[in-house]
Amino acid sequence: MSTPDKLPPFSEEAERGVLGSIILEPARVLPLCAAAGITGESFYMPAHQVVFAALTAMDSKSVDLLTIGEHLKAQGQLEKIGGPQFLEQLITATPTAAHAEYYAKIVADKFALREILATSQRTTEKAYSADAKPCELAAATATELQRMADNVADNLSAQDASAWIAETPPSVDPVLENTFDAGDKVPIIGSSKARKSFFVLQLCLAIASGKNVLRWHIPQVRRVLLIQFELKATHYWRRVHNLAGTLGIAPEEIAGRLHVASLRGHDVTPEKIMVLASKHHAEVIVIDPLYKLADGDENLARDMKLVLAMFDSLAEETGAAILYVHHNPKGTAGDRDARDRGAGSGVIARDFDACIYLTDHKEDGLLVCETLLRNYPPQEAFTIKWQEGHFVVCDDVAAIVRTSANRNKAGSTGPQLTKTDALGVVAVKALPAKAFIEALRQLGFTVRQAEAMRDNLLDDGTLKQFTPPVFPRKNFVGMPDQIAAMKKDYENPKLKV
């Protein structure tokens, strides 16, 4: 039983994307197709089946636009598929193989749907026969559907780790050097007045033009898709125009590499973002802001997990880095540990590969730029300010975040924790490490400030530490002479030479 007014499930764009990707990078994409279970019949278009069969029959080392054309010509099939122009269109439609895995998944999924549809149609036809037996028909259909389900599950795999030991790992593909890579999830978190949207736009302009930004190096230019939900297109146009002008970025420096989708008031689904990303071959996708895309309560983990899972899928299927702009909760952000600054459910502030924080500096008009990185060494925080229409680094200003402790009751910033303050609490005797921190906290300073000062004083030798060989174990910090005296008190005379 067929449905004449509907075509079977297929994606001509994805099929072209797979074939074009193979021609561009056969050694990488052909194994990827095999892993996805793609064969000639996975393609719906007959011409695509012919091209795929030819590509898999050739030596991957010799595949290019010319050799595939010659191969098809020798087989008498070149003109049947539309001639050399057809092959050229595959390359035109697929300028990069970066999204090959995304295309391959679509082709495999559409083929699976056609298989399910065909099984359903066969079952329907058999059900109309006079001798149809319900139990046998149901069992046969269930067996066939289970086979297809198993084939889909077989696309999951685990790697033999011995190969990882024996072979050199592949090189990474950094978008911002030593910060985050293609395929990473990167939230940008800051207060409502931190100009987060300007910051992320400046970042996008830099990535699309290949110009370094603030303290970060851009290894290569990328195609960027920026999806913004807050401003009308005309106002965002003005923002892009002005910011690019202050940065000295000319139109030709980002031509074809930065696309802005102004979707205020639009109903945007993950599928629509996938289509946009595929259309523009995006290597970096930016969502500004996150809460406009979220369907649910940002304070509920179950609702936010759905959004973050969508970002996982988007990154996995497109290979693009996913950046999203998020806000701090009310209050002084500097009072919280960096990983607790994002508003709403804690999963937002923890499910990432890299995170960039824009936090108020203790001095008005400045911001502290901090990062938390999963795959790269820690980076030193630095101070930035908005100057002449863009952000610049303030190399001569220490990166000190604003806290409740370093502001006075009028709201302006107050004195910082000094070396004199810290040494004052151990002026009489050494203290347990926790008591040292608590003493400074009682003086109005934050735990973070106290820990940072303790570490600095230990590093430069101003303070020493010692853990006596008794139970329960306690680590003490104090002046060098205090710690020396403690060590002497615990010396075992029997161990002396």
Who wins on pLDDT, 226 or 103? 226
Mean pLDDT of 122-144: 85
- 133 and 54 in a single domain? The answer is yes
pLDDT > 90 in the chain, percent:
44
Mean pLDDT of 306-328: 85
Q: Comparing 46-55, 210-219, 330-339, 392-401, which segment has the lowest mean pLDDT?
A: 330-339
Q: Comparing 241-250, 269-278, 380-389, which segment has the lowest mean pLDDT?
A: 269-278
Q: Please check the confidence at residue 258 and state whether its pLDDT lies above 80.
A: yes
Residue with tokens 């923002």: 239
Q: Please check the confidence at residue 95 and state whether its pLDDT lies above 80.
A: no
Q: For residue 321, what pLDDT band results from cuts at 50, 70 and 90?
A: very high
- 234 and 304 in a single domain? The answer is yes
Mean pLDDT of 48-67: 90
The DSSP secondary structure of 15-60, one letter per residue, reads: HHHHHHHHHH-HHHHHHHHHHTT--GGG-SSHHHHHHHHHHHHS-G
- 137 and 189 in a single domain? The answer is no
> Model confidence over 136-164: pLDDT tens digits?
888 888 888 777 776 665 566 677 888 88
Residue 158 covered by a domain: no
402 vs 361: CA distance, rounded Å: 5
Q: Comparing 400-409, 448-457, 488-497, which segment has the lowest mean pLDDT?
A: 488-497
- CATH (domain of 111): 1.10.860.10
- CATH (domain of 287): 3.40.50.300
Who wins on pLDDT, 261 or 474? 261
Q: Comparing 19-28, 67-76, 96-105, 201-210, which segment has the lowest mean pLDDT?
A: 96-105
Total structural domains within the chain: 3
275 vs 129: CA distance, rounded Å: 43
Residue where one domain finishes, among candidates 393, 428, 456: 393
pTM: 0.58
Residue 313 covered by a domain: yes
Mean pLDDT across the chain, nearest whole number? 86
- Distance separating the N- and C-terminal Cα atoms of the chain: 98
Q: Please check the confidence at residue 412 and state whether its pLDDT lies above 50.
A: no
Nearest to 291 by CA among 312, 272, 275, 268: 268
Residue 107 covered by a domain: yes
- 348 and 423 in a single domain? The answer is no
43 vs 108: CA distance, rounded Å: 9
The HSE-up count of residue 318 (CA atoms within 13 Å, CB side) is 30
- 293 and 202 in a single domain? The answer is yes
Q: Please check the confidence at residue 1 and state whether its pLDDT lies above 60.
A: no
- 124 and 216 in a single domain? The answer is no
pLDDT at 61: 83
**Residue 255 domain boundaries:** 174-393
332 vs 309: CA distance, rounded Å: 30
Residue 404 covered by a domain: no
- 104 and 186 in a single domain? The answer is no
- CATH (domain of 482): 1.10.10.10
> Model confidence over 163-204: pLDDT tens digits?
889 888 888 899 999 999 999 999 999 988 899 999 999 999
Q: ∠301-102-169 over CA atoms, to 5°? A: 85
The H or E element spanning position 247 is: helix 233-247
Q: Comparing 106-110, 153-157, 281-285, which segment has the lowest mean pLDDT?
A: 153-157
> Model confidence over 9-33: pLDDT tens digits?
998 888 998 999 999 988 889 988 8
Residue 208 covered by a domain: yes
| Helix, strand and coil in the chain, % to nearest 5 | 45, 15, 40
Residue 161 covered by a domain: no
